[in-house]
Structure 1
Amino acid sequence: MAGRRILLIEDDQRLARSVVQFLEGQQFVVRHLADGIGVSQLLRTEVIDLVLCDIMLPGRDGFEIIQEVRTVFDGPCLFLTASSEVPVQLKAFEVGADDFIVKPVHPDILLARIEACLRRNFPTNQKKSVLQIGNLLIDRSGRKAWVNDEEIRLSPGEFDLLWLLGANPQQPLSREFLFINSLGRRYDGLDRTIDGRISRLRKKMERYSSLALTVRTVWGKGYMLAEVR
């Protein structure tokens, strides 16, 4: 399950730091929100594999948040809460939870429940492994790309970027989004690794005169795969 991306919604900062540290030590990528503000936008713009949510939160409670989550996200949702009351657990499942974990929980049990949910949901959540955009073919399982029948020689990092851009055609993707979802770690706002990889990817694509696609810079928004002007 290494590299899977978890969204943690938890207002207890001490507990949140502990959970994030533990899960990152298990090779997950964790995004943390102290409340549910902006959750729909985050789920639309970032790749998330599982949502782990508290119930007692400032403003809206976890039930309301997961109801909103379910309008844009069909992956596994788990509640992590101090309440063990049966009515609370039943309501959790009614609003769309896949599992209910009562605090305090041993880290190894938390990990096991998360991995179990990911295993159950992986077949239905797995995205297409092949993208065909005009005469550009991108094969995620083989980690290769072709223009017509000619392979584009890409580094692993360049391929990851091409896949993300190809999966979101005509949609600008921010540097932060590309950084998190290709490198698997937080973006500090200064690292320019993505810019360098984008530049190299663009130059390699430009070698194919029959390819009517390029990586376009959208000022203030990021990069997107678009038709050559």
Structure 2
Amino acid sequence: MTSMKNRILLIEDDHRLARSVANFLTEQGFHVKHFISGENLDLLIESNSIDLIICDVMLPGTDGFKIAKRVRHTFDGPFIFLTALSNMEDQLKGFELGADDYLAKPVEPAILLARINACLKRNRRQQSNNEIAVGNLSINNQVRIVKVEQDDVALSRYEFDLLWLLASHQGTQVSREFLFINTVGREYDGLDRTVDGRVSRLRKKLEAVPNINCRISTQWGQGYMLACTD
């Protein structure tokens, strides 16, 4: 049985499905708050009273993709899409917006529960681990120090935030839009090159460090990736 401290926000306009999901999760020990749309979510999110969000995509008013983009400014917990949109393009868009998982309806309750528990477990592990290593590069998010072996690497606040995001997804492509939203703090219009400039400066600083064995590569038309070179 899952601890009652795990609080889930369910955003679903299908009342019958929402009731079924909420009842099941309540039986598993979760506390579930249900909203039928993205309206009036901001105060709830900002109150830090939610541990995980489950969100449909096709909703009245603001769709689930726009909700994800909006709440990622203030909510860094797990975000799961549960939707009838199952094509690859929609799934990729969901992950690019920062989703931790993407489930197509209908989903077996046991699978939904397993995915929720996996996301919560991963999130707890990330919260308890303030240091990430990529090759011989180490990043401590608590004291905001970057080292290559024993040598400090001086970075600006923006460069550190970019590096932390890339390191958190090491070895995988991170979209320009995701980096922009999570470091600049506003919606990406597809034209702004702020992130490109910051990544370029960060890359030059890292490449200037002797013996560093990781690098930032550009995924043309997609984003960036931090990975070991050995």
The TM-score, its normalising length taken from structure 2, stands at 0.56
- In structure 2, the residue matched to 1:19 is 40
Matches within 5 A, 1:70-81: 70-71=114-115, 74-75=118-119
Deviation at 1:224, TM superposition (A): 0.5
Secondary structure, aligned partner of 1:71: helix
Deviation at 1:135, TM superposition (A): 1.6
Secondary structure, aligned partner of 1:132: strand
Matches within 5 A, 1:14-163: 16-20=37-41, 22=43, 33-34=57-58, 36=83, 37=85, 44-45=95-96, 47=98, 60=105, 67-68=111-112, 70-71=114-115, 74-75=118-119, 123=124, 126=127, 128-163=129-164
What residue ranges of structure 1 are gaps of 5+ in the alignment?
Answer: 1-5, 52-58, 77-120
Once superposed, what is the RMSD of the aligned Cα atoms?
A: 4.2
What residue ranges of structure 2 are gaps of 5+ in the alignment?
Answer: 1-7, 15-34, 59-81
**For the residues of structure 1 that align with 2:128 and 2:95, how far apart are their CA atoms?**
15
- In structure 1, the residue matched to 2:207 is 206
**For the residues of structure 2 that align with 1:144 and 1:157, how far apart are their CA atoms?**
13
Secondary structure, aligned partner of 2:163: helix
Deviation at 1:18, TM superposition (A): 2.1
Contact 1:7 1:32 in 2 (8 A): no
